[in-house]
Amino acid sequence: MTALLTESPSPGLAALAFGLAALAVVGNDAVQTLGPFLSSNRDRTPRWVQGLFIGALLVLVLLLGWWRGDGDPSWGRLATFPATVPLAWTDLLPPLAVLALTAWGAPVSTTVLLLAAVAPAASSDLVLRSVLGYGLALGVALPVYLLLGVHQDPASPPSPWWTPLQWLATGWLWTQWLIQDLANVYVYLPRPLAAGPLALSLAALLLAVAVLLLGRGGPVQKVVEAKTDSHDRRSATLINLVYGLILFGLGRWSPRPLSTTWVFLGLLAGRELALTCWRRPRPWGATGRLLASDLAKAIAGLAVSLALALGPGRLSGAVAGVHPGMLPRTDAAPPTAPAAETLEPGGPAAGPGHRPADAAGGAVGPDRAAADP
């Protein structure tokens, strides 16, 4: 019974884990990239047109990454992870936790939650890169929006040129996000991946995007819509452009996985602080409470991530640097201790302090030891 609940060699488990991870990552993480686009295009562009645009870029990035990576669609982000992870039924908990936190409206770092659960030894590095990404994005967004805010009049109607610019900026950001976060779902599938499983996985991702569009972004979309001028196409375009540039720079700096959620929250925090400085859309106290609420939810998600990654049965994997499925069975019989060797005449010399037993079970005394050759 224990083996049934903790181990399964069936590929169906990997497919189920991938499907749940696809819904979780697209439903929570993708709102960072598509949230401003969905918010500003509500009631302006049919959702099926938005879906064709988003889906076409998804197909292009996935197939290009798969071709460049010789069957690995993660764009090299999983180079340090095992090519085939022995999944257990407990590995369904991380994507289920993301879905639950998404229903709560909490922006979650799926990179930390999903990848740390598969590779607990990478937890500390993922958390550190998340915090650094938040600080870097805040430090970039604050001066950028302080400079841009002086020249932008939110009361004036946007130029028609902002519409194609927004679509270009969204496409740019969407591709950069896919390059970073496809690893979060494809960690559950073996690599290299054959064409058949790749096509099925692509269909699952497109279905997850369709669910996101039908739900108008879902509960996490409120994090975006609560921000100043999120419905304005100019604001959405600038958010996507700056966010895409930050992800591009971080990706060139290091190919290791990073938390795009924390980068996005840092970007929004820097933007809101800048807008409060020159426009005062809300009091400073209200801005602080808004940003603290976003950060508190992200920290709660991070705590859940670490609890799942380092919980019972996984802590030993973090210490050993292996996935829990690679650890020895705890219900297996202990290995039999090797029989003690006796010192035979003419055998190998005993080390210092060695006192082998004689045939009668007694210790070899000094007189006998001296008599032996």
DSSP state of 69: T
Mention every residue, 6+ apart, whose C-beta is less than 8 A from residue 259. Answer: 109, 111, 112, 126, 129, 130, 133
Task: Give the residue from 152, 153, 133 showing the smallest Cα distance to 141.
Answer: 133
Tracing tokens 């991946």 back to the chain, one arrives at: 193
What pLDDT does residue 151 have? 52
Express each pLDDT in 245-268 by its tens digit: 999 988 888 778 888 888 988 898
Could you tell me if 24 and 187 are in contact, meaning their C-beta atoms sit under 8 angstroms apart? no
Cis peptide leading into 154, omega within 30 of 0?
Answer: no
Q: Within 10 Å of residue 12's Cβ, how many Cβ atoms? A: 9
Structure tokens at 333: 């019989």
pTM of the model: 0.74
For residues 66-74, average pLDDT: 93
Higher pLDDT, 307 or 73: 73
Radius of gyration of the chain (CA): 28
| Chain centroid offset of residue 16 CA | 18
Worst-scoring range by mean pLDDT, 91-95, 132-136, 329-333? 329-333
What are the angstrom distances between the C-alpha of 230 and each of 8, 135, 154, 293, 365?
Answer: 46, 22, 11, 18, 89
Q: Within the chain, how many helices (H) and strands (E) appear?
A: 17, 0
Phi, psi of 348, deg, nearest 5: -65, 150
Higher pLDDT, 3 or 61: 61
Higher pLDDT, 158 or 199: 199
Could you tell me if 266 and 141 are in contact, meaning their C-beta atoms sit under 8 angstroms apart? yes
Higher pLDDT, 94 or 207: 207
Q: Give, for 299, the enclosing helix (H) or strand (E).
A: helix 284-309
Q: Within 10 Å of residue 327's Cβ, how many Cβ atoms? A: 14
Structure tokens at 102: 């998404």
CB burial of 57-66 (b: ≥16 within 10 Å; e: otherwise) equals bbeebbeebb
* pLDDT band at residue 44 using 50, 70 and 90 as cut-offs: confident
Compute the C-alpha angle 180/185/187, nearest 5°: 95
Q: Give the integer Cα–Cα distance in Å for 204 and 186.
A: 12
Task: Give the residue from 15, 17, 35 showing the smallest Cα distance to 177.
Answer: 35
Q: Give the integer Cα–Cα distance in Å for 210 and 48.
A: 9
Amino acid letter at 242?
V
What pLDDT does residue 73 have? 94
Q: What is the DSSP string of 269-282?
A: HHHHHHHHHHT-SS
What are the angstrom distances between the C-alpha of 371 and each of 13, 343, 352, 368?
Answer: 67, 14, 17, 5
